[in-house]
Homo-oligomer: A and B are copies of this chain.
Amino acid sequence: MTVLGVDCGGTNIKMALVKNNGDIAERALEPVNFRRPAARAIADIAGRILKFKSRMGLSRIPKIGMGIAGEVDSARGLVRFSPNLGWKNVPLKALLAKKLKSSIHIENDANCAAWGAFCLDSKRDCNNLICLTLGTGVGGGIILNKKLYTGSTGSAGEIGHMTIQHDGRRCGCGNRGCLESLVGAWGLIQTAKEGLRRGRAPILKKMLKEEKLSPKLIEAAARKNEPFSKKIWADAGECLGAALSNLANIFNPDRVVLCGGVSKAGSLLLKPALQALQMRAFETPVKAMKVTVSKYDEKLGVVGAALLTLE
């Protein structure tokens, strides 16, 4: 049995025919313009899915599992609020179902990634897993007792908006000192901009002539031994470590899986993070908790979205 997994990004959708063991049979990436009324964007998504179906020579559309950034009410098929897509209270499931004759399940994208990480890598030896998606923002998904935990009204898992510095930097969500504001790509770029303004990042400044500012560029400057850029990663790692320590003390999970672009900075981020985790958290949960960077990063969301429909 195969399921169609769909991962809605900000400018495109990722589609994949996913077997129930998590293998991908076929995949595609299609552009979708979300900067227009939701109904029109959704009609476009439906069209892309129909196109994918005919290209694959399928007689009918399989079951669909779809991941969306933002607050999703899965039970009612509603996207309550997605700042990324500019949606508020959009009945995504109903609008899609009108266009496609198929069973559809929608879920928050970080929850999908968590389920993907659990199914692809951890199902056998793991009961409790937390996934952190370190991208422009920071998302989270929580698997407890081998089930996705979504809370009382479906919005649990917003680990990126955990306060770890209660008088800290203002976050996009309105709060101060959120993990996301300190470790997300947006936060890293803000810190770099402050350093550039104060003339503290000459190597990074030089590199900006050829490429625009990104975590990847800050990483490159750090690898060229620029102290300020190295400190950005050390500080971000320390903050990530405080967050990991909170997860250890609160959830005592078997595993924390990191994914997303920022997680690619490797030891620049992970070394200070794991040091802070050791220093901060209780001994028993730290010993029990494996922290890994996912090797399946690109497909976690789409595979998880698909496999959640089988639950």
Q: Which residues of A contact B (CB under 8 A)?
A: 71, 80-81, 127-128, 140, 142, 144, 149-159, 161-167, 173-177, 238-239, 242-243, 245-246, 249-254, 279-282, 284-285, 288-289
Contacts and interface: CB of A to CB of B under 8 A. Distances in A.
A171 to B, nearest CB: 9
B285 A157 contact: no
Nearest to A285: B155
A254 B155 CA distance: 12
A2 to B, nearest CB: 30
A123 to B, nearest CB: 15
A253 B151 contact: yes
Contacts of A253: 151-152
A163 B164 contact: yes
Given A142-B250, A155-B252, 4 more contacts: A152-B285, A153-B284, A163-B242, A164-B166
A139 to B, nearest CB: 12
Given A149-B144, A150-B252, A252-B155, A161 B285 contact: no
A289 B127 CA distance: 27
Contacts of A158: 249-250, 282, 285
Given A71-B282, A165-B165, A166-B164, A250 B175 contact: no
